[in-house]
Structure 1
Amino acid sequence: MAIQDVLVIGSGIAGLSYALKIAIRNPDAKITIVTKANKDETNTKYAQGGVAVVSDFEKDSFEKHIEDTLRAGDGLCKLEAVEVVVKEAPERINEIINWGVRFDKNNEGIYDLGREGGHTENRIVHHKDVTGWEIERAMLEAIKEYPNIQVFTHHFVVDLITEHHLNRDIAQKTTCFGAYILDLNTDKVEQHLAKVTLLATGGVGHVYKNTTNPIIATGDGIGLARRAKATVSGMQFIQFHPTAFYSEFDGQLFLISEAVRGFGAKLRTKDGELFMHKYDEREELASRDIVARAIDNEMKLSGDDYVYIDCRHLEKEKFLEHFPNIYEKCKSEGYDMFTELVPVVPASHYLCGGIDVDLEGKTSIENLFAVGECSNTGLHGANRLASNSLLEAMVFGHRAALKTVDLLNDNEFSIYNFEFPEWNEEGMKVQEELVLISYLRKQLQAMMSELVGIVRSDNRLQIAQNRINEIEKMVKEIYYFTIVSPKILELRNLVDVAHLIIEQSINQKENRGTFYNKDFN
């Protein structure tokens, strides 16, 4: 058994900024960060574009950023959340700069502001085309200065600990007391008790066959929250990135940043024809949902597996200055972006909904917070505006940390008042053949991609609901009789995610943002 003041599940920008803020304000607080992979393997690491923040107040304004966010969210954003994030952005950006994050500057020493789809002004601060990697690097360096922060890698959370694990009812409201965590180094499940727990587990990309997300993005926080009975909403709003590098193989696809289109790249069919003008007056600078549906429609009309992104007309020197890694990746795949068209396809990219939280990051469960992509703050509504996600994680990480410090100073609540059962492998369990778990995972991903993708229908969703019920039943049985392992835990979480996406898609009765049901037209 391990006891800490704060348990942070996830080591991306949300978890790290939250832990840092608490450590700075409460040096005596014992903070534990757990991550199921290496500490830098997070969704944050793969964020290319940058962070949206108003910094040029002569050309830009908070009001413009708010309007762009609300427009992208298609009427479903929470205005208060949008205002909080946009107006607190400059202060949060200055903090991470002080922690060592290096954003690109122009020859005048002013931040080089990029522009992406849905934005009416240039306001994206960035570090070349690896902004997330740079932020992750700086923040991992920053936490080394705080001995009260411990990071445990290769630790997989099995379930949250709530009063349901006690033999008596201790409260009308559900409370979180930590988590049961599988130490992958010892293959033992340990009890980690905490006064406050944060879910900062990132996205759900691998519920689909193709995604821009790293392999770790299996919706673990959403699964934990659903099983603990936290409220989760907006799961029907899955953002598909329009331009992932096409591959014949399923899994993580390399992202060709939206900033490339902001830089002037054009989209063409396999026949070389421009097509975005048919779908939106903003053409390639339309919001992601519109561009993704346009590409999806062109592929369906032609029967092609991909469209092309055209960078041949762009200024080479400036392009390489902004997007060196994207260029090198395409070159390694056999495509010179300045002489050839590059094949791209939409891929699952970002969850706009998630675990419901208030303006302090608190969930519906006492002493449980959620920050980052796994949370639903109301900022994104039906569709996330490009480069608002890293910003959201910083702003709500800060707000959640302030509230957590207050909770830690409240001596009325103590985890020492309760006796929680140690993890117990009920009955005789065996090591299930991994081929069965892999088979069900592929079945789940194929079903979600084909029936609950960019364009949905009533019939497809009904078939998907019947199928997910069958898969969920099989996975529960396998989980009960199988020795706990990362593969079965990830599959279990993916099933929870898929169940919520399908259920909330069926309940969605109008097309908004990223959600599109062809039967509604």
Structure 2
Amino acid sequence: MSTPLSTDRIVIVGAGLAALYAALELAPYPVLMISPEPLGLGASSAWAQGGVAAAMAKTDSAQAHANDTESAGAGTVDAEVAEMVTRMARSHILDLTALGAPFDRDAEGNYVMSREAAHSAARVVRVKGDQAGQQIMETLIEQVRATDSIQVLENTEALRLETSGNAVCGVWIRRADRPSAPVLISCPGVLLAGGGSGGLFAHTTNPPRIRGQVIGFAARAGARIADAEFVQFHPTAVDCGEDPAPLATEALRGEGATLINADGIRFMVDQHPDAELAPRDIVARAIFAETQTGRRPMLDTREALGADVLTRFPALAETCARAGIDPVKDAIPVAVAAHYHMGGIETDLQGRASLNRLWVSGEAASTGLHGANRLASNGLLEALVYARRAAADIAATLTPPAQGAAPELHPDFAAGGQEMDSTAVQDLRQCMTTHVGMRRDEAGLKQALLALSELEAAQPNDEAFLNMCATATLIAACALQRRESRGGHYRDDYPQADPDLAQRSHMTLTEARAIRDRVTRSL
């Protein structure tokens, strides 16, 4: 049995953009960051290619950015949140620049902007074409390493929240790189910034560890979840057999790349007035349809970029080289893949969850910004804005310890624990892709809930797997309840949007399990 520990530090679960930014914003308030891998590895933020959406050009405005956000969100965006986030965007770009983020600039020093799907203007600030996430992360990691108030526990993962009444009072952690018994860290407050849920699906662009665990253990502690049914599938994951699937950034289509099928037909022209720059859900469904009919979809960069694709988009060039694809001569096979979870732990404007002393930022949060369909490159922006707001609220709510009164923690992890059953994980992921993926219907969603109930019952002591099952259950239950198609949620049996359902969803895990129990009894 591992010895419980107590700290006056704020515990931040995660090590991506939101976690790093919040830790720096909290300084000199002492922080303990829980990172399942060495800093910079395995975080979704580092894999983000497009950039940060912000109205930086003189011809653009925060209001236009907010309007595009609401339009893409298909009727369920919180207008107050969209106005606030887009208004704050510029200041965050300037602050990141001051920290050393090497955003692309032109000869006059202006930010080079990319246009991505559903944006009415070029407003995505980028780094080296498709290197934004990695480069911003490296900048922040350097700052975190140099900040004395921040302790990072690497190769450590969170498993469960400890609560007292309606308040969070600690978090259970264990080694992420080998089996160990969990350790309870009692603390004054917790900020969850541990990523989304893409890895719950068999085809995903997310890092291997991003499988809904953070949302799941918050839900298991009683936190309210919002918009769980809205999962965004990226249209252009490179179809080369890798897991996770490498991403072909939307900025390529912003630069003029087109989508063609095996017959050479540019199929998006007949699907939407904006063709390849239509909202992601529309492009993803069109690509999925081409795949289903055997006309392999491909991204064609040859005319728009030619040989420049190799230098302007180095991440794509590296992917193509690994897969034996020459994008200068050939079109790039693509497929849809689970990419971003618009839903998550419900948070208010200060990043507070429904449980006291629990804050959330980044993809694990559901703030109301994204609605049913996230606007491209708003993900990193939301992470920045809510990391700062949560940090400010934590500092205003909790009394910081006296200087030097929060020593570093060095948990002694005893032997124990268990390895996750890899077969059960793959069964869960395949179930989600088959029944809760791009296209859904009542029969499939009920089959998913039955399968999830059986998978959960077979692994009653695996905390990490139970967290995955919790999030998957919430997604499937909310998808079953929403009898319409909207944004990233598409029902074959309800293919039209219902104006009466143009609102966010809210559900607890207890409510989701009750729906699951009713379904399993009926089958």
Question: Normalising by structure 1, what TM-score?
Answer: 0.88
Q: Which residue of 1 aligns with 2:499?
A: none
Does residue 56 of the first structure (1) align with residue 96 of the second (2)? no
Aligned-partner Cα distance in 1 for 2:448–2:348:
31
Aligned-partner Cα distance in 1 for 2:451–2:201:
15
Aligned-partner Cα distance in 2 for 1:399–1:151:
21
Seen in structure 2, the aligned counterparts of structure 1 residues 430 and 393 have a Cα distance that, compared at 3 Å, is closer
Q: CA deviation at 1:378?
A: 0.2
Does residue 146 of the first structure (1) align with residue 147 of the second (2)? yes
Q: Which residue of 2 aligns with 1:227?
A: 220
Question: Contact 1:4/1:32 (CA < 8 Å) preserved in 2?
Answer: no
Letter paired with 1:373: E
Question: Contact 1:10/1:35 (CA < 8 Å) preserved in 2?
Answer: yes
Residue 448 of structure 2 is aligned with which of 459, 464, 472?
464
Residue 277 of structure 2 is aligned with which of 267, 285, 289?
285
Residue 247 of structure 2 is aligned with which of 242, 255, 262?
255
Aligned-partner Cα distance in 1 for 2:470–2:312:
39
Residue 428 of structure 2 is aligned with which of 444, 453, 462?
444
Cα displacement string for residues 270-329 of structure 1 (whole angstroms, at most 9, x for unaligned residues): 1211100121110000011000001111222x235x411111102336544431221232
Q: CA deviation at 1:46?
A: 0.1
Aligned-partner Cα distance in 2 for 1:299–1:325:
24
Letter paired with 2:258: K
Question: Contact 1:180/1:423 (CA < 8 Å) preserved in 2?
Answer: no
Residue 390 of structure 2 is aligned with which of 387, 394, 400?
400
Q: Which residue of 2 aligns with 1:116?
A: 116
Residue 239 of structure 1 is aligned with which of 232, 237, 241?
232
Q: Which residue of 2 aligns with 1:191?
A: 184
Aligned-partner Cα distance in 1 for 2:288–2:100:
40
Aligned-partner Cα distance in 2 for 1:117–1:218:
26
Aligned-partner Cα distance in 1 for 2:7–2:388:
24
Does residue 303 of the first structure (1) align with residue 277 of the second (2)? no
Q: CA deviation at 1:6?
A: 0.4
Does residue 497 of the first structure (1) align with residue 487 of the second (2)? no
Matches within 5 A, 1:77-476: 77-128=77-128, 129-163=130-164, 171=165, 174-184=166-176, 187-248=180-241, 251-300=243-292, 302-304=293-295, 306-316=296-306, 318-409=308-399, 437-476=421-460
Aligned-partner Cα distance in 1 for 2:418–2:351:
38
Q: Identify unmatched segments of 5+ residues in structure 1.
A: 164-170, 417-421, 480-487
Q: CA deviation at 1:37?
A: 1.4
Question: Contact 1:37/1:216 (CA < 8 Å) preserved in 2?
Answer: no
Cα displacement string for residues 153-172 of structure 1 (whole angstroms, at most 9, x for unaligned residues): 01111211101xxxxxxx4x
Question: Contact 1:245/1:254 (CA < 8 Å) preserved in 2?
Answer: yes
Letter paired with 2:285: R
Aligned-partner Cα distance in 1 for 2:417–2:11:
30
Q: CA deviation at 1:424?
A: 11
Seen in structure 2, the aligned counterparts of structure 1 residues 185 and 317 have a Cα distance that, compared at 3 Å, is closer
Matches within 5 A, 1:501-520: 501-520=475-494
Deviates more, 1:349-358 or 1:105-114: 105-114
Kindly tell me the number of residue pairs found equivalent between the two proteins.
Answer: 479
Q: CA deviation at 1:104?
A: 0.4
Deviates more, 1:93-102 or 1:81-90: 93-102
Query: Taking every aligned residue pair, what percent have the same amino acid on both sides?
Result: 34
Question: Contact 2:346/2:366 (CA < 8 Å) preserved in 1?
Answer: yes
Letter paired with 1:311: T
Question: Contact 1:331/1:337 (CA < 8 Å) preserved in 2?
Answer: no
SS across alignment from 2:298: strand
Aligned-partner Cα distance in 1 for 2:280–2:9:
40
Seen in structure 2, the aligned counterparts of structure 1 residues 278 and 224 have a Cα distance that, compared at 3 Å, is same
Q: Identify unmatched segments of 5+ residues in structure 2.
A: 407-411, 496-523
Aligned-partner Cα distance in 2 for 1:431–1:5:
29
Q: Which residue of 2 aligns with 1:74?
A: 74
Cα displacement string for residues 13-66 of structure 1 (whole angstroms, at most 9, x for unaligned residues): 10111111110xxx2x32100111122120110000000001112x21112101
Cα displacement string for residues 391-419 of structure 1 (whole angstroms, at most 9, x for unaligned residues): 101111111111111122389xxxx9xxx
Question: Contact 2:16/2:193 (CA < 8 Å) preserved in 1?
Answer: yes
Q: Which residue of 2 aligns with 1:35?
A: 35
Aligned-partner Cα distance in 1 for 2:181–2:236:
41
Question: Contact 1:238/1:348 (CA < 8 Å) preserved in 2?
Answer: yes
Q: Which residue of 1 aligns with 2:516?
A: none
Question: Contact 1:191/1:423 (CA < 8 Å) preserved in 2?
Answer: no
Aligned-partner Cα distance in 1 for 2:445–2:45:
31
Q: Which residue of 1 aligns with 2:507?
A: none
